[in-house]
Structure 1
Amino acid sequence: MRHLYRPFVAAVLATGALTSAAACSSSDGGGSGGSASGAYTFWDPYPQFDASSDWAKRVANCGTAAGVTVKRTGMDTTDLGNKALLAAQQGNAPDVMLVDNPVVSTLVQAGILNKARDLGLDTSTIQPNIIGAGTLDGAAYGVPIGANTLALYYNKKVLKAAGVDPAGIKDWATLTSALQKVKAAGKMGITFSAIGTEEGSFQFLPWFWGAGGDLTRMNDPGGVAALSLWKDWLAQGLAPKDVLQNTQTTSWQEFATGKYAFGENGTWQLANAAKAGFPYGIINIPGQHGGSAPVPTGGEFVTVPVQRKTGRYAVSTKIVNCLISPTSLLATDTTLSYIAPLAAVQKEQVQRDATLKPWVSAVAAARGRTSNGLGTKYPAISEQLWTAVQSALSGGKSPQGALDTAQQATASHS
């Protein structure tokens, strides 16, 4: 089990000279910037897409349109963040890089990303809550390729057999009651990801925020209530114990077996949902006492790392614009099953696929993980949050005790 932010933040703190070194390097002239001759390097956190995938073809076509060959490398988010820092130190950063939106502020702190406006990239029409995840001190460091968030997929057959009407699920009590009925009918209740990485925090946040949780006071009653809910579900057998190891991908694979009533997951699973072999529906994650819980804004930013050879920026910008300009964004987000960050493109998406309508409204109301001034503080908070979830669900500590420890650890490093 790898942790997303522990080595990442440690690397930032251990390379105090990185900011000034990277900033100085950007004044050099044109050239290869460490990339292979005649090719532009492109890193993304999509190792699941091989060279034959629609995504890889889209990236390659954008290189062709810019008059170059793109050498794409997909790696998981953990490796991408760490390797980005190392490559910047070595003066060998990729030309274009997609990073998870909370990582942007950390990379900016390390001084290795260019401002979007310095590259001539237009961010003026992007939804504020989406561009905000990659904005520091009024400047955007990249452009969101799209956005996604979380909801509850449900298996219509499983719910019907258990006598559960999904329209009646309004809060935690009615959801738990539905899970109990499903279990009594011989099926599994709900699966999600509680793994000890950012994916675990991402999946926990709707429940945390849905109870009024505050990331600056994780051990307040709201946070404790959310963690107690998950712990109770495991104790009652309403959720499997392997949520502790589940990524969002393996959690989806469990739901796709057809044995589960609910699966917490995101827009990126829509294509897989269509192939699942059973009828499904989607409902918003309920708040503790009703209403829809706030959900986190997910998705990546297309960024252009600082290079020693600034002559490469013009082509890098062409590649970025090919992926995120209004004229091509629909194709990009359709390929990735993302919701576009532009209202006009969102409208086109819904016209083509009406099932995206609830996702568009969910993304519009989603909350950035680094918002409310958290910025670069978020990674440390998130690490303590997922550690608390792991501790409580594994039986190591009570929900209150786990979150007390998390809050104390965060406060001691603030």
Structure 2
Amino acid sequence: MNIRGLGAALAVTACLLSACSSGGDTTSSGTPTSYAVWDPYPQFDDSSDWVKLLTKCGTDAGVTVKRTGYDTTDLTNKALLAAQQNNSPDVLIVDNPVVSTLAEAGVLTTTEEMKVDTSAVEPNLLAAGQLQGKTYGIPIGANTLALYYNKKVLDAAKVDPATIKDWAGLTGALAKVKAAGKKGITFSAIGTEEGSFQFLPWFWGSGANLTQLDSAQGVAALSLWTDWLKKGYAPNSVLNNTQTTSWQEFAAGDFAFSENGTWQLANAKKAGFEYGIIPIPSQAGGTAPAPTGGEFVTAPVQSDTGKYATTQKLIACLTNADNALTTDTTLSYVAATKPVQEKQVAANPDLKVWAQAVGAAKGRTSDDLGTKYPKISEPMWGAFQAALSGSKNPQQALTDAQGAASK
């Protein structure tokens, strides 16, 4: 999961925008021959499977794709500015929470306008790109959170991870691990969106709703975290942990559990100890809804609507089942459709738990929250920071957060 922020990148030069714009090359008759694609994958160069796919999709559509990879924050800023200057790319691939921001700003077309078929996409994943009854893109895949465990640590504490089905079972396991002289669970509770991302499975897993942070259920979720710290089941370092530093703690080999994502699978295989993965349990039992990470393929509004027919072909190519399988494997994502998920699990059984977690997941901007979500998330991370540091009790921290979110 890559957490994204928004800023003001107004120092972008006009020449940079024109170089990356959707204006592109044209034939003598004025028909565009090049189409601009912007994505948040600057780590991939022209030799990568991803860029090769973009090139192939362009060739199949009879055009040249001019691709630019940006850091996600830069990508959002540049997309907003390009739209103001009527210079948007033809295809824009953005992190799912950004979709509602761009849609509300009038940057994006709807899937209905673009005739994009979303019928096979899992509804819980598609919801992250929906606002006020309209859909503004199609997910390229998703990642989310689960619990990695260290088998050696659990064996020493006589804990069977298969028996952990709810909060009581997990807390009981942590007590046994501590009694055996090992460390319990590490996670990220840093005061940023990254911390909110990690808190949401527990918050949603209590039955709480983001429109009422200080509900009894929300207080129960925050009390779970604070009790773990008080009892020594989780370290105080969670207050400053990013998902990366939290993983580094787990990889040292003393912790029983780490809350982390699909993006750590490769690192797990290098950790040097036998590991496993279980879904994050909800309070009452079953898999908790964890937030979805991952990007949407969208089509920005163009003044030349005649370009849309080719844009439709590019989007269809990027998201068809065969290409989605290759792309999601490259990005360590779980596919957005069941048939492709089944192929992924057949090829890599480690993904079975992740497919289950993605099936229960939900978008942070779902429930028609859209651009309201950031105004809720920031008070929420302030609340768990205050409670975990001991400056407020969970009830007061969340009551104050709800007051701030309601303003």
- Normalising TM by the smaller chain, what interval? 0.7 to 0.9
My pick for the range that moved more, 123-132 or 191-200, is: 191-200
1:158 to 153, 161, 171: 153
Partner of 1:178 in structure 2? Answer: 173
Pairing 1:75–2:64 present? no
2:288 to 271, 290, 293: 293
My pick for the range that moved more, 366-375 or 220-229, is: 366-375
The answer to whether the Cα contact below 8 Å between 1:339 and 1:359 also exists between their aligned partners in 2 is yes
**Between the two proteins, what is the percent identity of the paired residues?**
63
Give, in angstroms, the shift of residue 351 of structure 1: 2.1
The answer to whether the Cα contact below 8 Å between 2:144 and 2:293 also exists between their aligned partners in 1 is yes
Question: How does 1:6-21 map onto structure 2 within 5 Å?
Answer: 7=6
1:130 to 125, 129, 140: 125
Task: Provide the aligned C-alpha RMSD in A.
Answer: 2.9
Stretches of structure 1 lacking an aligned partner (at least 5 in a row): 12-30
Structure 1 runs, 4 residues or longer, greater than 6 Å off: 35-39
| Partner amino acid, structure 2, of 1:201 | S
Q: TM-score, normalised by structure 2?
A: 0.84
Q: TM-score, normalised by structure 1?
A: 0.83
* Shift in CA distance, 408/353, structure 1 to aligned 2, threshold 3 Å: same
The answer to whether the Cα contact below 8 Å between 2:287 and 2:357 also exists between their aligned partners in 1 is no
Give, in angstroms, the shift of residue 127 of structure 1: 1.7
Q: CA-to-partner distance for each residue in 1:41-77, whole Å, 9 max, x for gaps?
A: 443344555666544554455455554243332314x
What SS does the corresponding residue of 2:113 show, helix, strand or coil?
Answer: helix
Q: CA-to-partner distance for each residue in 1:97-139, whole Å, 9 max, x for gaps?
A: 2222222112111100111232232112212222122123433
The answer to whether the Cα contact below 8 Å between 2:205 and 2:288 also exists between their aligned partners in 1 is yes
Partner of 1:234 in structure 2? Answer: 229
The answer to whether the Cα contact below 8 Å between 2:186 and 2:257 also exists between their aligned partners in 1 is yes
Give, in angstroms, the shift of residue 331 of structure 1: 0.9
What SS does the corresponding residue of 1:265 show, helix, strand or coil?
Answer: strand
* Shift in CA distance, 45/386, structure 1 to aligned 2, threshold 3 Å: farther
The answer to whether the Cα contact below 8 Å between 2:201 and 2:280 also exists between their aligned partners in 1 is yes
Size of the aligned set, in residue pairs, is 388
My pick for the range that moved more, 179-188 or 132-141, is: 179-188
The answer to whether the Cα contact below 8 Å between 1:56 and 1:72 also exists between their aligned partners in 2 is no
Give, in angstroms, the shift of residue 373 of structure 1: 3.4
The answer to whether the Cα contact below 8 Å between 1:115 and 1:140 also exists between their aligned partners in 2 is yes
What SS does the corresponding residue of 2:67 show, helix, strand or coil?
Answer: strand
Question: How does 1:311-350 map onto structure 2 within 5 Å?
Answer: 312-350=307-345
The answer to whether the Cα contact below 8 Å between 2:21 and 2:87 also exists between their aligned partners in 1 is no
Task: State the alpha-carbon separation in 2 of the partners of residues 241 and 42 from structure 1.
Answer: 43
Task: State the alpha-carbon separation in 2 of the partners of residues 186 and 300 from structure 1.
Answer: 41
Give, in angstroms, the shift of residue 205 of structure 1: 1.1
Partner of 1:187 in structure 2? Answer: 182
Partner of 1:100 in structure 2? Answer: 95
* Shift in CA distance, 410/55, structure 1 to aligned 2, threshold 3 Å: same
Task: State the alpha-carbon separation in 2 of the partners of residues 84 and 242 from structure 1.
Answer: 36
* Shift in CA distance, 347/378, structure 1 to aligned 2, threshold 3 Å: same
Task: State the alpha-carbon separation in 1 of the partners of residues 310 and 242 from structure 2.
Answer: 36
What SS does the corresponding residue of 1:117 show, helix, strand or coil?
Answer: coil
Partner of 2:259 in structure 1? Answer: 264
What SS does the corresponding residue of 2:246 show, helix, strand or coil?
Answer: helix
* Shift in CA distance, 297/313, structure 1 to aligned 2, threshold 3 Å: same
Stretches of structure 2 lacking an aligned partner (at least 5 in a row): 9-19, 27-32
Task: State the alpha-carbon separation in 2 of the partners of residues 391 and 52 from structure 1.
Answer: 47
Task: State the alpha-carbon separation in 1 of the partners of residues 44 and 385 from structure 2.
Answer: 29
Task: State the alpha-carbon separation in 2 of the partners of residues 268 and 118 from structure 1.
Answer: 34
The answer to whether the Cα contact below 8 Å between 1:102 and 1:379 also exists between their aligned partners in 2 is no
Pairing 1:218–2:217 present? no
What SS does the corresponding residue of 1:119 show, helix, strand or coil?
Answer: coil
The answer to whether the Cα contact below 8 Å between 1:33 and 1:308 also exists between their aligned partners in 2 is no
What SS does the corresponding residue of 1:262 show, helix, strand or coil?
Answer: strand
Give, in angstroms, the shift of residue 246 of structure 1: 2.8
What SS does the corresponding residue of 1:288 show, helix, strand or coil?
Answer: coil
Pairing 1:199–2:194 present? yes
The answer to whether the Cα contact below 8 Å between 2:76 and 2:98 also exists between their aligned partners in 1 is yes
The answer to whether the Cα contact below 8 Å between 1:130 and 1:368 also exists between their aligned partners in 2 is yes
My pick for the range that moved more, 126-135 or 104-113, is: 126-135
Pairing 1:402–2:401 present? no
My pick for the range that moved more, 334-343 or 372-381, is: 372-381
